[in-house]
Amino acid sequence: MDRLVTIILAAGKGTRMKSDLVKVLHPIAGLAMLAYPIRAAQQIGCRRIIVVTGHQRAHVEAACSQEGIMFACQEEQLGSGHAVAVTQDLMEGFEGDVLILCGDVPLITAETLNRFVQSHREARAAVSVLSVSLDDPFGYGRIVRDASGNVTAIVEQRDATNSQQKIREINTGLYCCSASFLYKALSQVGTDNDQGEYYLPDIVKIGVGEGQKVQAIETDDFEEVRGINDRRGLAEAEKVMRRRILDSHMSNGVTIIDPDSTYIDAAVHIKHDTVIYPNTLIRGGSTIGSGCIIDINCSITNAVIGNNVHIKPSCVIDACSLEDNAAVGPMAHLRQQTVIAGGAIIGNFVEVKNSTVGKDSKACHLSYLGDATIGAEANIGAGTITCNYDGKKKHPTVIEDNVFVGSNTALVAPVTIAQGAVVGAGSTITENVPENSLAVARSKQVAYDTVSKKESEADEQKDG
């Protein structure tokens, strides 16, 4: 959208969160609360965004710094009017409209903002306020209208007269103003109110006094404009956002068997015809291809998953990459920097860390593979353990193509099993195994004579 700057107020601490973390950085569906109004502004095509920071400024700036975003610092929180005034230097020479959002109003949608800015522009207003009518308006600033319905002022709860307190139409705290009017009006805002603060809503009264066009545009969706003040509000916002995220995946052709028990973060991408079973969490920046099955009770974080991957029940997958047609689980634990190549199978009770499992290789039961590089078409028998840690350092294990490792084998790293080699079951391998050889490293089986055997042999001799 042309000639539009968005200002997002995010200087407040958020005392009612009772947190060491500033309110606007509390995550909702895996993204900081502040990321949502930023994204909504970007979605309507606004390319200049100014975030007003104060409390934990450095943190807030680090968390949302990206192209097109500038920061204005409000050292002391002297009120919402003052918060907007600190952006003035950055706005030098700008002639268009200013959309003012709040960092703690994360559920606002691009559609609503689009309509709001359009109607502000169509009305050629100096200031437009987004309002909503509530059954219980307590605590909010009220929209005061005259007999013909024109907006005349906004009065805060604590400054309102008894009759003004009965007004149900409230100020959502979202505004659209012409830049030239806004900064002129802000220079006239005083602190003559119950809190002794510079109130941004006072620009309404100032505009009316100057004979400017002032309007309140009413929305009927309170959910979108609700401010988050405490942990209860945070949980409610999480719920709404989660449902929106699931809806958008379902619109894109993803089957979600039970939306009530499926949790997908905002930055996750999933392609069509993937099916997600109940009790699943998919977090961070995970991407999932098409035709996958994510069965029940899985936790998937920052994973890159190809097409037609089958993740069986109760897997924990963290920062891994699974290529097309891989299968894992049930009850597999894939840890950081693991790559499971196409067609490979990781079975139950297998833990894999910082390892590559090559194409069509299998580790089907009860193994630990850590710091290992496994080639193609290898078979890792049940109970194979890479002993990667000597108490001080981690060491690598290399298992080349077509290796067969028998069950219950310990591979003491650093060690290489060269291609085509076979390791006998129960071996403890401490030295490299050459290509195509059979390595057996266990004590030889001995069958000792027992007393009863000797007696039976003696009996046989007697009979003979």
Q: Which residues are known catalytic residues?
A: 365
- In whole angstroms, the minimum distance from the beta carbon of 83 to Ca ion comes to 12
**CB under 5 A: which stretch of 76-84, 224-232, 241-249, 399-407 binds Ca ion?**
224-232
48-107 residues in contact with Ca ion (CB under 5 A) are none
Q: CB of 96 within 8 A of CB of 179? A: yes
| Angle at the Cα of 85 from the Cα atoms of 38 and 177, rounded to 5 degrees | 65
- In whole angstroms, the minimum distance from the beta carbon of 109 to ligand UD1 comes to 17
Using CB under 6 A as the binding rule, whether residue 55 contacts ligand UD1 is answered as no
Per-residue binding letters, 91-110, with ligand UD1 (x by CB under 6 A): -----------xxx------
Q: Which residue is nearest to Ca ion (CB)?
A: 227
Tokens of residue 209, six digits: 């006094």
Per-residue binding letters, 189-228, with ligand UD1 (x by CB under 6 A): ----------xxx-------------------------x-
Q: CB of 218 within 8 A of CB of 132? A: yes
**CB under 5 A: which stretch of 45-53, 222-230, 321-329, 387-395 binds Ca ion?**
222-230
Name which of 156 and 323 has its Cβ closer to ligand UD1. 156
- Residue 74 interaction partner, one of ligand UD1, Ca ion, none, beta carbon < 5-8 Å per kind: ligand UD1
Q: What are phi and psi of 461, to 5 degrees?
A: -65, -45
- In whole angstroms, the minimum distance from the beta carbon of 83 to ligand UD1 comes to 4
- In whole angstroms, the minimum distance from the beta carbon of 54 to ligand UD1 comes to 6
Torsion of CA 421, 422, 426, 429, to 10 degrees: -10
Tokens of residue 63, six digits: 């968390």
Q: Cα(150)–Cα(132) distance, rounded to whole angstroms?
A: 15
* Strand ranges (E), 113-272: 127-133, 142-145, 151-155, 169-178, 214-218, 255-256, 262-264, 269-270
Name which of 80 and 302 has its Cβ closer to ligand UD1. 80
Q: CB of 328 within 8 A of CB of 340? A: yes
What's at 226, amino acid-wise? R
Name which of 43 and 77 has its Cβ closer to ligand UD1. 77
Q: How big is the site for ligand UD1, counted in residues (CB under 6 A)?
A: 27
Among 70, 78, 90, 364, binds ligand UD1 (CB under 6 A): 78
Name which of 51 and 340 has its Cβ closer to ligand UD1. 51
Name which of 31 and 101 has its Cβ closer to ligand UD1. 101
131-190 residues in contact with ligand UD1 (CB under 6 A) are 140-141, 154, 156, 170-173
Name which of 10 and 246 has its Cβ closer to Ca ion. 10
* Strand ranges (E), 88-207: 97-102, 127-133, 142-145, 151-155, 169-178
Q: For the chain, what percentages of helix, strand and coil (3-state, to nearest 5) are there?
A: 25, 30, 45
- For 159, counting Cβ atoms within 10 Å of its Cβ (0-12 exposed, 13-18 middle, 19+ buried), the class is middle
Element (H, E) at 429: strand 428-429
- In whole angstroms, the minimum distance from the beta carbon of 145 to Ca ion comes to 23
Token pair 């490979």: residue: 344
Per-residue binding letters, 226-245, with Ca ion (x by CB under 5 A): -x------------------
**CB under 6 A: which stretch of 59-67, 71-79, 207-215, 400-408 binds ligand UD1?**
71-79
The rounded Cα 117 to chain-centroid distance in angstroms is 29
- Residue 103 interaction partner, one of Ca ion, ligand UD1, none, beta carbon < 5-8 Å per kind: ligand UD1
Short-list 384, 396, 307, CA closest to 350: 384
Name which of 104 and 238 has its Cβ closer to ligand UD1. 104
Q: Cα(126)–Cα(144) distance, rounded to whole angstroms?
A: 17
For residue 13, what are the CA distances in angstroms to 34, 54, 57, 141, 319? 13, 8, 10, 20, 33
**CB under 6 A: which stretch of 74-82, 158-166, 177-185, 445-453 binds ligand UD1?**
74-82
Interface with Ca ion by CB under 5 A: which residues? 227
Residues in touch with ligand UD1 (CB under 6 A): 9-12, 52, 74, 77-80, 82-83, 102-104, 140-141, 154, 156, 170-173, 199-201, 227
